[in-house]
Structure 1
Amino acid sequence: MPRTALTPAALSGADVADPSGTTIDSTLVTNGIVINTADPSRTVLRVTNSAGSAKKVTARAGGKDGPAWMRSQGDTDVSVAASGTRWIGPFSEARYLQHGGKLNIDFESGFTGTITAFKLARSL
């Protein structure tokens, strides 16, 4: 199954609305998400967990585009506490950028909650 595309909300330094996020359901857990045309060094994720226990979010290591020593560090798992919120990122482009400028995120089985991607302004 193809990953579900997630579009980041821009953080410009001005008055910014707080988006509610995308619901993490069984489809998102099965397929994962992709942020197309990602700029990992300016991307931050807000992940909330409504499951009854801590669950993991995984940022997938990139393809052949990054240097071998960065790719060899592998994926990154971040635990989100039950009823908790975690801010994850920004990400290293050399380590996480996939072919075609994509950033791939996966969820542990049973994860429920929301995810919101934010793109940081170049300067605030």
Structure 2
Amino acid sequence: MARTAVPYSSLLPNADVADPAGTATNAGTGNGHTIAKAVPELTVLRLVAGATGGNVTIKAGQNPPAIASAMGDLVIAVGNNATRWIGPFESGRFLQADGSLLVDIAGGFVAGTISAFKIPRNT
């Protein structure tokens, strides 16, 4: 099975953005999520847990391009009915060879959502 795509919601300079619904988490399926054409330094994730939380893992990248991938995965615990904001990230640690970011959700993480936000560069 393929990973579930998480689209970017772009934050806008000097403007507002409606709160996105997010992508339903596919906890424990072994497939996780992918953010295509990722810009890790400009990416922030929002994880919203349902009645049961669990660990969220940002997967270490592949070398190349992630020359610091040996630092390993980043694992964040998200509590029950909690919201966590994670990021921005380092390309040198998390960028995959295909230009994506990979996120895995623990099996106990039920009825949650994941959203990816792209922070704008100053214009």
Aligned residue in 2 for 1:116: 115
Distance in 1 (CA, whole Å) between partners of 2:39 and 2:93 is 12
The letter for the 2-side match of 1:82 is N
TM-score, normalised relative to structure 1: 0.90
Distance in 2 (CA, whole Å) between partners of 1:81 and 1:110 is 11
Show structure 1 runs of 4+ deviating over 3 A.
none
The letter for the 2-side match of 1:37 is K
Count of residues in Structure 1 that have an aligned counterpart in Structure 2: 120
Pick from 92, 101, 104: which aligns with 2:102? 104
Aligned residue in 2 for 1:58: 57
| Conservation of the 8 A alpha-carbon contact between 2:44 and 2:86 | yes
Task: Provide the aligned C-alpha RMSD in A.
Answer: 1.5
The letter for the 2-side match of 1:87 is W
Distance in 2 (CA, whole Å) between partners of 1:96 and 1:72 is 10
Per-residue deviation, residues 56-101 of structure 1 (Å, max 9, x unmatched): 100000001122xx11110010011111000000000000000121
Distance in 1 (CA, whole Å) between partners of 2:51 and 2:3 is 22
Aligned residue in 2 for 1:8: 8
TM-score, normalised relative to structure 2: 0.90
Distance in 2 (CA, whole Å) between partners of 1:93 and 1:29 is 26
Distance in 1 (CA, whole Å) between partners of 2:46 and 2:99 is 21
Aligned residue in 1 for 2:42: 42
The letter for the 1-side match of 2:32 is G
Distance in 2 (CA, whole Å) between partners of 1:75 and 1:20 is 26
Structure 1 stretches lacking a partner, 5+ long: none
| Conservation of the 8 A alpha-carbon contact between 1:29 and 1:111 | no
* 1:116 counterpart SS class: strand
Relative to its length, the structure with more helix (as a share) is 1
Distance in 1 (CA, whole Å) between partners of 2:78 and 2:88 is 17
The letter for the 1-side match of 2:96 is Q
Distance in 2 (CA, whole Å) between partners of 1:51 and 1:29 is 18
Structure 2 stretches lacking a partner, 5+ long: none
Pick from 74, 79, 82: which aligns with 2:80? 82
Distance in 2 (CA, whole Å) between partners of 1:16 and 1:62 is 30
